[in-house]
Amino acid sequence: MTRQRKVTRRGFLGTTAATALAHKALAQSESTGSRPFVGETEHFWYREQPAGKYIDSQRGNRAFAYAEGKIFLSEDNGHHWPHSADFADATRITFSHILKNGNVVFATGSKLYLSTNKLKSYREVVVKAKDGSDYVPHTPKNPDLPGWYFHTLPGTVSWDVKGKEMMVWGNYCNVLGGATPVNIYYSTDSGKTVKVAYNFGQNPFFSDNGAPGGGKGGTLLGDANNKVLARHVHTVAYNPVENAFYATTGDGTRGLGHECHWLRGTYDAKKDQWDWKVVVSDVSNSRYKCGGINFVDGQLYWISDSNGPKPHDRGVFTCAPEDLTKPEKHTRLFNPEVESACMIIQDGTILATHCAPATPLNTGFIVSTDMGKTWAQHDLKEFGKRSPTRLHEKNGEGWFRVDLRSGWIKHAEVMFIKPKPPRRQG
């Protein structure tokens, strides 16, 4: 049995860094020339990104950022930005990823782009459907809302699969940006070719009626032959022990079956074919409404954003993958008692976040620096009411990169977190 620290609201408010400085938004910092905010808690150091750019992704020592009309690439953890290119829709970027070989994939709405030469040039990538034809995005009712085809919640979207990097991700959509078909995508050649791995069915509750999140009465989107419905994909993760991918979706149960699913997918590289199966489906107040899937030494970890009718089955859970459908074999490592669907595990540190509309905190973080033996929560009040998401693995200087979203999904700012070494227990 793991030992847990009891965490109260008073406790985690008290453990945040004491400071007399008020948080300044990035735009204000840029206009005044003030330095980015830095601070620390008992468990980690944190800082906001420098003003002037939105650092959208990182990988090793590389970082990709954008500003009005321009995209940038750094090779020294964001200290300098020697590579750049004009890109008119830069502020509409909703997704980016840096591949191991340095290729950069980025997207705006329904368009996907690739640069293979440090932003000297870039091209649009035409996604391929499962039958090999071009996967053509729908014509939106509102041209300003083409859909979030490629936006995703996790920061980690590629893995070493049998000695070859493979990029696999699903779109978190139908909240902002327009109605969108729900898909899982993949690439086995560093973004040069991107294909659809799985198409979810046509959800009438999120058809294209011109609203930012979709709704009833519009054009149906998705695979008409698939009865598995979802609002969006929460996360995709890879377990090298099984050589299998897992995906979770949301969001509710609206009379046409559950939208909260766990899928397990295996990929046949020789045939370039996927085999996806729904492992479990459930209601929104269960532990299976979740995200933040991680695999460590073959063990499965996830965090629940259970909501809807009480009681809520929330927490950080772990089990053997084969026991996923057996709740009695799950271990709840910690219960933050709020919705959370974002979590990353690296080098023994578990970092997860609160969903701002569902928590009394402003910018809430859940952390264990000893692989779940002890836990704490921290409210980084300096950043205001924010939902941290898109947790990227540590860069070359040991900092996780984190999106800060207003509400729970609208882009706002970026921050970085560096874990402190765990304290020795006496």
pLDDT at position 11 over 80: no
Residue 319 in tokens: 């089990």
- What letters, b where the CB count within 10 A reaches 16 and e where it falls short, cover 83-122? bbeebeebeebbbbbbbeebbbbbbbbbbbbbbbebbeeb
Q: How confident is the model at residue 9 (pLDDT cuts 50, 70, 90)?
A: very low
Residues 6+ apart with CB under 8 A from 42: 15, 376, 420
> 103-107, 129-133, 318-322, 421-425 — which is least confidently predicted?
421-425
Q: Over pLDDT 90: what percentage of the chain? A: 89
Instruction: Quote the pTM value.
Output: 0.92
Q: Is 11 helix (H, G, I), strand (E, B) or coil?
A: helix
Q: Give the residue extent of every domain in the chain.
A: 89-288
* pLDDT at residue number 147: 98
Neighbouring residues of 226: CB distance < 8 A, sequence distance ≥ 6: 199, 200, 201
Give, as one character, the DSSP assignment of residue 243.
T
How do residues 125-164 score in pLDDT, each as one tens digit?
A: 999 999 999 999 999 999 999 999 999 999 999 999 999 9
Q: Among candidates 320, 245, 247, 332, which has minimal Cα distance to 286? A: 332
Here the tokens at position 45 are 């150091």
Q: Could you tell me the pLDDT band of residue 426, with boundaries at 50, 70 and 90?
A: low
